[in-house]
Amino acid sequence: MNIETILSNASVIPVIEIPNLDVVSELVAALTGGGLKVIELTLRTDCALEALSTMKAQAPDLFIGMGTILSEDDVEKSIDAGADFLVTPGASLSLLAALKSAGRPALPGVATVSEAITAIDAGFNALKFFPAEASGGLPVLKAIHAVMPNVSFCPTGGIDAKKATDYLALPNVPCVGGSWIAPKNLIANQDWNAIEHNAKIASALK
């Protein structure tokens, strides 16, 4: 499985912060019930790695990426936990090398053309564009397409369902990421119906 195949299975990748393991089972049921095939967890809570393993056991066919990867140590821990792919918000040369040698599909984060060239040099053709809206959003991705038409981007950061449609209309955007499908407040309120509803809308986007 390569990153292009994973991205082609998802127009929207929900980026999810797991507060505790108690929510995992119903959260996965809501996301998969809404038709989503790919999700990303953030490595920002203590239980994130265990949550990933628990989710994979519950839903082996769900592609689960680990996001917020900042270091080689994060890469190793995420692979040990069973991450199907790895996502970083940005990248140093050493982090790019660690992603490459991990042998797991990866989506390094970039916010500028020079960062994109650095990631391409390291062997990556699918990149996360982060933070998408704050970095200039649609016009930036349109301009980048002109100079690197073979590179795909998953814009993430400040995107909602409405903006997602505009991004997905770009030729270099196979999918977008965002927290709006399963935001912290809906998870805290255990509002699984609302999350499943958001997931249905997200999985219907093209």
Q: Output the six-digit token pair for 48.
A: 């994130």
Query: Distance between CA atoms of 3 and 86, rounded to whole angstroms?
Result: 9
**Residues 195, 196, 198, 199, CA torsion sign:** positive
Q: Which of 72, 65, 77 is nearest to 97 (CA)?
A: 72
**9, 158, 191, 194: residue in contact with ligand ELE (rule CB under 6 A):** 158
Catalytic-role residue among 4, 17, 37, 40: 40
Q: Is 15 in the site for ligand ELE (CB under 6 A)?
A: yes
Among this protein's residues, is 40 annotated catalytic? Answer: yes
Least CB distance to ligand ELE at residue 146 (A): 25
Binding mask 99-128 for ligand ELE (x = CB under 6 A): ------------------------------
Question: Contact, 78 vs 56, CB < 8 A?
Answer: no
* C-alpha torsion 131→136→139→141, nearest 10: -30
Span near ligand ELE by CB under 6 A; candidates 2-10, 46-54, 136-144, 156-164: 156-164
Q: Is 203 in the site for ligand ELE (CB under 6 A)?
A: no
| Binding residues with ligand ELE: total (CB under 6 A) | 13
**Identity of the residue, 90 or 150, whose beta carbon is nearer to ligand ELE in the bound complex:** 90
Q: Is 42 in the site for ligand ELE (CB under 6 A)?
A: yes
**Identity of the residue, 67 or 137, whose beta carbon is nearer to ligand ELE in the bound complex:** 67
What single-letter amino acid sits at 58? Q
Q: Is 68 in the site for ligand ELE (CB under 6 A)?
A: yes
Span near ligand ELE by CB under 6 A; candidates 1-9, 54-62, 164-172, 173-181: 173-181
What does the chain come to in residues?
206
Query: Distance between CA atoms of 58 and 87, rounded to whole angstroms?
Result: 22
Query: Distance between CA atoms of 136 and 120, rounded to whole angstroms?
Result: 21
Catalogue the active-site residues: 40, 128
